[in-house]
Amino acid sequence: MSKHIKCNLHGMQRQQGAVALIVAICLVSLVGMLGLVLDLGHLYVTRTELQNAADSSSLSGAKELNGRVTGINNAITRAIEAAGKNKYNLNSTAVTVTASNMWVGSCPADGCMVSISSVTTDALAGDKTFLKVDTGLRTINTWFIQVLPSVANTTQTFGIAVAGKYAVDITPVAICELPDPGTTNEFGYERGVSYKVSDANPIGPGTMFWIDPESNTPGVCPVTSTNATRPYVCAGKIGFTPVVGGTVNTNTGISTPQLSALDSRFGDYTPQNQCDPATAPPDTNIKEYRYNSAGVGAPRDWMGTDPTRQTILFVDSVTNGSCSPSRTCKPRPYSLRAATDYGVLWSGFRKTGAVVSQWSTLYSGNTSTSYPEPSPYAQTSGNFYTAPPVAYQPGKAGRRVLNMVIVNCTTAGGVCRQATVLAVGRFLMQRRSDVPGDRDIFVEFGGLLPTPLPTSDIKLYR
């Protein structure tokens, strides 16, 4: 009996030794697994911190891109500042980036990108609408995972983001370049002078062009119907940036619902235009400046010679005689104009540096009697001002100023036809467009945009 007991005790001692060995092995594995979890968590948090830095840096920098070298330089400055406000490695180390961490391009893909430092002229900056920021690899120490054999004591991660323009402040209506009128002009347009958009067409009067609001890829026009276009007309935005020298896809003919959508700027919200006041608010001043209005605050209140039409007179491009639907037309040349050839003048804009006393010289004998300062449209009270409907107040200043692409229309017309972008101009809507018997767009030219690229909303692409 005693021998049997001794044998069992010996076996138990051996089992206890085996259990101790297993527990030791398991403890190493458990500590290793715990270290893996903690170190992976550390890595994940650091990766998120760097990604947040890249996101904010690219968003801040992309807002500065304006088609010029000044915008490139400002983008570098803003991107560096934004990145520096972030920290990584459990919020312990400031994120630093330099121009060497940045690229710009005409699209968000890497194939469109060039080093931001290589953009040294306005010509090179003209189509750069996207900014890429890469924080570069950042090294962090591992902790408990180092108990495992053959495991590195450091690891690396990074953040990368691309931001750019996506809701661009362009109304998807194109207007054609005009012949030189013989006075100071910008692609044929004179500041402070009014134009009927359908007449500003060298192919033939009576036709308006609109541009596909989602694509400038040649031959690719995803938005060709009135219903699909209306939200873009309501908001006055498109989904890409027209670049001077590039192309847009034009379509011929603007329907009544599209004209009605433009009138949301006057506080008109109808089942026909389906505009949403939240995304398409009225202007803060919805006063119309109609040439034939007899009420107070009408153009005849500030124009010494009563206007006999809404916009400048268009004539035959060859004979300077009466304009015909079958012939190409143009505004009457400056040297041939009389006071009655002008439409409504200076409702919102004026020639650069011009003063009221110069009217008789500028406009062939026309005079100004009680021109308000600032312009009628800029008034915030009085006869030249009308507040939007109460339900939509206070409105948004500048909504009646349409940023419109000026294009070379000689090859435009039809469906999804390319036209070269010459510039983007500012045009003030003087009156509603959806008017029975006279449905058209009547605008006053206010000059080209001060920078090649219009303002826009910015978003992250990746």
Round the average pLDDT of the chain to a whole number and report it: 89
Considering the domain architecture, whether residues 267 and 327 belong to the same structural domain is answered as yes
Structural domain count, the chain = 2
Considering the domain architecture, whether residues 151 and 264 belong to the same structural domain is answered as no
pLDDT-derived band at 176 (thresholds 50, 70, 90) equals very high
**Residue 146, pLDDT above cutoff 90:** no
Q: Average pLDDT, stretch 362-370?
A: 87
Considering the domain architecture, whether residues 100 and 186 belong to the same structural domain is answered as no
d(CA 268, CA 259): 11
pLDDT value, residue 129: 94
Residues of the domain holding 345:
173-460
pLDDT value, residue 24: 66
pLDDT value, residue 12: 52
pLDDT-derived band at 36 (thresholds 50, 70, 90) equals low
pLDDT value, residue 437: 87
Considering the domain architecture, whether residues 31 and 93 belong to the same structural domain is answered as yes
**Residue 149, pLDDT above cutoff 90:** no
pLDDT tens digits, one per residue of 293-314: 988 999 999 998 899 999 999 9
pLDDT-derived band at 144 (thresholds 50, 70, 90) equals low
pLDDT-derived band at 29 (thresholds 50, 70, 90) equals low
pLDDT value, residue 164: 94
**Residue 11, pLDDT above cutoff 60:** no
Q: Are 266 and 283 in contact (CB under 8 A)?
A: yes
d(CA 44, CA 157): 9
Percent of the chain with pLDDT over 70: 89
pLDDT value, residue 155: 85
User: 185 CB contacts (<8 Å, ≥6 apart)?
Assistant: 178
CA 380 to chain centre: 27
Q: What are phi and psi of 364, to 5 degrees?
A: 50, 55
**Residue 195, pLDDT above cutoff 60:** yes
Buried b or exposed e, range 84-104, using 16+ CB within 10 angstroms: eebebbeeeeebebebebbbb
Q: Average pLDDT, stretch 97-103?
A: 97
| Higher per-residue pLDDT: 161 or 452 | 161
pLDDT tens digits, one per residue of 381-421: 999 999 999 999 999 999 999 999 999 988 777 889 999 99
Q: What is the 8-class DSSP label of residue 322?
A: B
Half-sphere exposure of residue 273: CA atoms within 13 angstroms, side-chain side: 25
| Higher per-residue pLDDT: 423 or 224 | 423
Decide which of 165, 194, 218 is a domain's last residue: 165
pLDDT tens digits, one per residue of 37-55: 777 888 889 999 999 999 9
Q: Average pLDDT, stretch 221-247?
A: 92
Q: Whose structure tokens read 């058209």?
A: 440
Considering the domain architecture, whether residues 198 and 55 belong to the same structural domain is answered as no
**Residue 331, pLDDT above cutoff 60:** yes
Indicate the burial class of 148 (C-beta count within 10 angstroms; 0-12, 13-18, 19 or more).
middle
Rg (CA), the chain: 33
Decide which of 142, 165, 188 is a domain's last residue: 165
Q: Average pLDDT, stretch 367-382?
A: 93
**Residue 3, pLDDT above cutoff 90:** no
pLDDT value, residue 253: 82
**Residue 179, pLDDT above cutoff 70:** yes
Decide which of 165, 197, 218 is a domain's last residue: 165
> What are the beta bridge partners of residue 176?
407
Closest CA to 258 of 299, 225, 281: 225
pLDDT-derived band at 15 (thresholds 50, 70, 90) equals low
pLDDT-derived band at 200 (thresholds 50, 70, 90) equals confident
pLDDT tens digits, one per residue of 103-123: 999 999 999 999 999 999 999
Considering the domain architecture, whether residues 329 and 368 belong to the same structural domain is answered as yes
pLDDT value, residue 9: 52
pLDDT value, residue 392: 95
Considering the domain architecture, whether residues 125 and 191 belong to the same structural domain is answered as no
What number of residues does the chain have?
462
Total-model pTM: 0.85
Considering the domain architecture, whether residues 190 and 246 belong to the same structural domain is answered as yes
Considering the domain architecture, whether residues 145 and 183 belong to the same structural domain is answered as no
d(CA 372, CA 357): 13
Give the pair of three-digit tokens for residue 320. Answer: 């300077």
d(CA 425, CA 247): 16
Considering the domain architecture, whether residues 118 and 205 belong to the same structural domain is answered as no
Considering the domain architecture, whether residues 239 and 375 belong to the same structural domain is answered as yes
**Residue 4, pLDDT above cutoff 60:** no
pLDDT tens digits, one per residue of 430-449: 999 999 888 999 999 999 99
d(CA 412, CA 377): 33
Considering the domain architecture, whether residues 197 and 340 belong to the same structural domain is answered as yes
| Higher per-residue pLDDT: 17 or 129 | 129
